[in-house]
Amino acid sequence: MLSSAQERLWFLHRLDSHDPSHNRCYSHRLRGTLDPARLSAAFARIEARHPALRTRYPDNGRGVPEAVVEPPGRLTVERLRAAGVEEAARLAACRTNTAFNLAQAPPFRVSLIELAPDDHVLVVVVHLISADEWSLRVLREEVAACYAGEPPPVPAPRPEPRRDPDLTWWTERLSGTPALDLATDRPRPAVRGTAGGEVRFDLPPALVAAVAERARTAGCTPFTVLFAAYQLLLSAHSGQFDFCVGLPSAGRGAPELERAIGCLSTTTVLRCDLSGDPDFSEVLRRTRENVRETLARPDAPVDRLIAALRLERDLSRTPLFQSLFALHTHRDAADPLPGLAAEPFAHGWHPARHDLTLDLHPKDDGGLLGVMIYSEELFDRETAERMAAQYVSLLTTGEPLTDTEPERKDTAAQPPGHTDADLVPTPGGRPALPRPRAAAGYVAPRGAVEALVAEVYGEVLDRERVGALDDFFALGGHSLSAVRVVSRLRAAVEVEVPVRALFTGPTVEAVARVVEELLVAELGRLSDEGAERLARELT
């Protein structure tokens, strides 16, 4: 049984099977006498210990994902040779940026690149559907233990499926939040990809100590201070005072889950309030209360929130929140393989799932390493470097290093393109939620393909009458039901209908047009007999 998070990841894979942005990886350069056979045995033992590393995720034939756990012993450590560091980096980047086929095999690959008999690069890649960031730390530690001849106990802890919480509080809290619209260097594309760049910067130990002291006097945690500064940075670059930010967490509240490998991490959506031009102290106070109130609630799966909030589908940006902020509290294993000198190796993977992400990692000297990941389709590297410098300035002085700021936008007043009559009142005085636009009266399907699409919409969404202008999402559809629609259409017309078609044009009319274009292309490839058979089936 898949969790809500896994179902969403499976759907996103179906939406774009060539997207590697949900890969998770680590790589180390290892100097010293390495025993490849012992390393392979260590990975094999951990693969056998954790079923998540042996699971693949096919379609059950009805557009529904299922988890199939394969028997142990199928993992092979790939052996490669490189003439130098540059070639090793290219080989590593090729592996970290290659998408998995989730249906065909468990999404877990290990590569060992030899530079010299005593110099290797280890590259480990998994898909988030099987292992989250926390899992990578567990994987590193357990492989090291097995390599040293001290294997962990068997079996590994297995998490129980979580129940979805009541979404009432969340929908009231988040209804009407405008998308974060950062000032960009280039126009936002209609369909944003995941090409990303990375800027690294340091928060020195003295500044981190000052943050901790500020937190102590304000009665909060250092996380709250660091997050308050990030909100101010986003506000300065957008001119907005109302937007959402995603806060990832490990999702391992129970102690026994700390050694589990799987997709357990969650993302809490926090609505930021910077109205009234507050100073840093006031933003800190609001953030403290906001974080306390929000984190006291059970996590709500993001895909369920998106469906409950009836958010309009927009392939130019991620739904609900467009930025992530994370403070990591655990350092990477200093000794990934005992007896070998190890150092991190650049693996070349840093896709941008969101417009902007800031990760803060602890350093041995008491400082923090900042990693700002930005969408290369939207921002130049110089812009990201400037934002990183402004973030440090905000923590130091409470003011960003900027000459001009965007005009502040009251984007929460009314969503663009909607009149007052289009808005659904929400509790608590929050901005109103756009009402899904209804078609201007019922229009019967025109032709065999529109009739087929309308029939499939009706079956999947349990609707008695579906017209040519009806919108799939306005009728109550969501990402997983979109996959079921596509699966049934593929079975009916025997052509590969892309899931993306329902997002770029979700009406019966638009989807039918895509199907017709695919059929025309397919007819050109069929024999006369095959073309006649297909034509008969559609009339």
Write down the pLDDT at residue 529.
Answer: 56
Contact 259, 137 (CB under 8 A): no
For residues 337 and 34, is the Cβ–Cβ distance under 8 A?
yes
Q: What is the pLDDT of residue 433?
A: 36
The pLDDT value recorded for residue 215 is 93
Total-model pTM: 0.74
Q: How far apart are the first and last CA of the chain?
A: 39
* pLDDT given for residue 424 in this prediction: 35
Query: What's the sign of the alpha-carbon dihedral 83, 88, 90, 94?
Result: positive
Q: Is the peptide bond before 117 cis (omega within 30 degrees of 0)?
A: no
Q: Are 53 and 46 in contact (CB under 8 A)?
A: yes
Please choose, from the candidates 293, 357, 368, the residue with its C-alpha nearest in 3D space to the C-alpha of residue 328.
368
At 493 the three-state DSSP class reads helix
The span from the CA of 179 to the CA of 238, in Å, is: 10
Q: Which residues contact 48 (CB under 8 A, 6 or more apart)?
A: 54, 72, 73, 154
Contact in structure between 26 and 124 (CB atoms under 8 Å): yes
| C-beta separation of 515 from 495 below 8 A | yes
Q: How far apart are CA 510 and CA 153, in angstroms?
A: 55
Provide the 10 A C-beta neighbour count for residue 527.
8
Look at residue 15 in the predicted model and tell me its pLDDT: 83
Reading the chain (539 residues) residue by residue, the pLDDT tens digits are 788 888 889 988 888 888 898 999 999 999 999 999 999 999 999 999 999 999 999 988 888 899 999 999 889 999 999 999 999 999 999 999 999 999 999 999 999 999 999 999 999 999 999 999 899 999 999 999 999 999 887 777 777 766 777 889 999 999 999 999 999 999 999 888 888 899 999 999 999 999 999 999 999 999 999 999 999 999 989 999 999 999 988 887 777 788 899 998 888 999 999 998 888 999 999 999 999 998 888 778 888 888 888 887 788 898 999 999 999 887 765 578 888 999 988 888 878 889 999 999 999 899 999 999 999 999 999 999 999 999 999 998 876 554 434 444 444 433 333 333 333 333 333 333 333 344 457 888 888 889 999 999 999 898 989 999 998 888 888 777 888 888 888 888 888 888 888 887 889 999 998 888 888 877 666 555 554 554 555 55
Q: What is the pLDDT of residue 303?
A: 81
Q: Tens digits of per-residue pLDDT, 164-214?
A: 778 899 999 999 999 999 999 999 998 888 888 999 999 999 999 999 999
Amino acid at 168: T
Q: What is the dihedral of CA 234, 237, 239, 240, to 10 degrees?
A: -20
Q: How many CA atoms lie within 13 A of 411 on its CB side?
A: 21
Alpha-carbon torsion (482, 377, 319, 432), positive or negative: negative
Whole-number Å distance between alpha carbons of 506 and 502: 4
Residue pair 56/70 in contact (Cβ under 8 Å)? The answer is yes
* 342 phi, psi to nearest 5 deg: -125, 145
Measuring CA to CA, how many Å separate 49 from each of 42, 338, 406, 486, 488? 11, 21, 53, 36, 37
Closest CA to 441 of 474, 469, 473: 469
* Rounded-to-integer distance, Cα 241 and Cα 390, Å: 18
**pLDDT recorded at residue 399:** 64
At residue 334, the 3 state secondary structure works out as coil
Residue whose entry in the numeric block shows the structure tokens 């003439």: 83
Phi, psi of 114 (to 5 degrees): -95, 120
